[in-house]
């Protein structure tokens, strides 16, 4: 296995730009487990990402928001690049959940039965009637690995499982139903990633890492590493705690570019964005009010 230094007490996690060639020489597979395409809020075409992945000798999990169109457009069995069928699900109560399936067929069936009927007019936004607990119920019998994306949320939002747990919105029991936390997310700050690292141990979870890339250049800046030869052994090692995460956060210019890319993609759906954000904000205020009313003076 590649040597990794200790990141806040965990020898499996290293804040460092991945050396893809060196990783391959150790006989390990590595994959950026959080990358977006123009299927959702990115401008990166799946074919372009595959070419970059091949040049860098890095795999990827395509995790578009609530959609799988880019994965449907390619034949995974014929690709030279290591690709994990995935999706980032935006729940109605806030958290984003990364789902990694062993088989494309299983992901397709799950999406058609459980995700497609709950899509909003902007399909990338939070699903209708699908809280985190509801999603975990739907995933209970699925052959997949489930990880909490950017656990501390973005910019104080509830888009992370851990921040919702700390606010009292999600119980420890609900969090423990996940398989892993994304302990290095390229779009987060170092401080928030360190908090994610502290938290995965607290909940007894596995670890994943990904760039949360919305521009092609991000691909592979954070990778999950495993001594594996296929999707099955790669995902199984996450469940067994036998994988590593290596990567670093985006600098400010790349983070700003990512934000602009996502912003421009959402412009066409402004009314839907306002509606969903207002709904989630109202729920947050109600939760806070109930907590405050329950406190004794």
Q: Indicate the helix (H) or strand (E) that contains 222.
A: strand 222-226
Residue 113's pLDDT is: 98
Structure tokens at 285: 């205020």
- Contact, 182 vs 147, CB < 8 A? yes
Residue 60's pLDDT is: 98
What are 101's strand-pairing partners?
Answer: 144
Model pTM greater than 0.75? yes
Second CATH level (architecture) for the domain 13-254+261-292: Alpha-Beta Barrel (3.20)
Residue 288's pLDDT is: 53
- Tell me the backbone φ, ψ of residue 205, rounded to 5 degrees: -105, 170
Q: Where are the domains of the chain?
A: 13-254+261-292
Other CB atoms within 10 Å distance of the CB of residue 187 = 24
Structure tokens at 43: 């401008």
CA 38 to chain centre: 16
Walk across the sheet containing 243-247 and list its strands.
Answer: 13-15, 243-247, 222-226, 29-35, 59-62, 83-90, 96-101, 144-148, 180-185, 206-210
| Torsion angle (degrees, nearest 10) of CA 65, 69, 72, 77 | -40
Distances in Å between the Cα of 142 and the Cα atoms of 101, 107, 151, 231 are 8, 9, 22, 15
b/e map of 155-173 (b: 16 or more CB within 10 Å)? eebbbbbbbbbeeebbeee
pLDDT by 10s per residue, the chain, length 297: 444 444 555 689 999 999 999 999 999 999 999 999 999 878 899 999 999 999 999 999 999 999 999 999 999 989 999 999 999 999 999 999 999 999 999 999 999 999 999 999 889 999 999 999 999 999 999 999 999 999 999 887 899 999 999 999 999 999 999 999 999 999 999 999 999 999 999 999 999 999 999 989 999 999 999 999 999 999 999 999 999 999 999 887 766 666 656 655 555 555 555 555 555 555 554 555 455 455 444
DSSP helix/strand/coil, 244:
strand
């Amino acid at each position: 296995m590649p040597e990794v230094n200790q990141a806040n007490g965990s020898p499996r996690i290293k804040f460092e730009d991945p050396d893809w060639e060196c990783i391959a020489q150790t006989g390990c597979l590595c994959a950026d487990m959080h990358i977006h395409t123009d299927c959702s809020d990115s401008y990166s075409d799946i074919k372009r990402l595959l070419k970059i992945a091949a040049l860098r000798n890095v795999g990827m999990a395509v995790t578009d928001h609530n959609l799988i169109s880019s994965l449907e457009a390619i034949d995974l069995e014929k690709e030279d690049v290591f690709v994990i069928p995935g999706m980032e699900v935006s729940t109605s109560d806030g958290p984003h959940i990364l789902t990694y399936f062993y088989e494309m067929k299983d992901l397709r069936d799950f999406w058609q039965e459980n995700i497609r009927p709950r899509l909003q007019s902007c399909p990338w936004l939070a699903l209708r009637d699908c809280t985190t607990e509801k999603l975990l119920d739907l995933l209970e019998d699925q052959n997949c690995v489930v990880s909490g994306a950017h656990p501390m949320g973005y910019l104080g939002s509830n888009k992370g499982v851990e921040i919702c747990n700390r606010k009292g919105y999600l119980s420890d029991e609900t969090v423990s139903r996940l398989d892993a936390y994304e302990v290095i997310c390229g779009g987060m700050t170092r401080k928030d990633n360190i908090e994610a690292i502290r938290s995965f141990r607290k909940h007894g979870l596995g670890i994943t890492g990904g760039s949360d890339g919305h521009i092609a250049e991000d691909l592979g800046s954070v990778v999950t590493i495993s001594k594996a030869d296929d999707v099955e052994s790669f995902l199984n090692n996450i469940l067994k705690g036998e994988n590593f995460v290596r990567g670093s956060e985006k600098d400010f210019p790349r983070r700003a570019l990512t934000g602009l890319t996502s912003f421009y993609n959402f412009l066409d759906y402004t009314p839907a964005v306002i509606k969903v954000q207002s709904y989630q904000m109202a729920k947050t205020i109600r939760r806070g009010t109930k907590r405050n009313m329950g406190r004794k003076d």
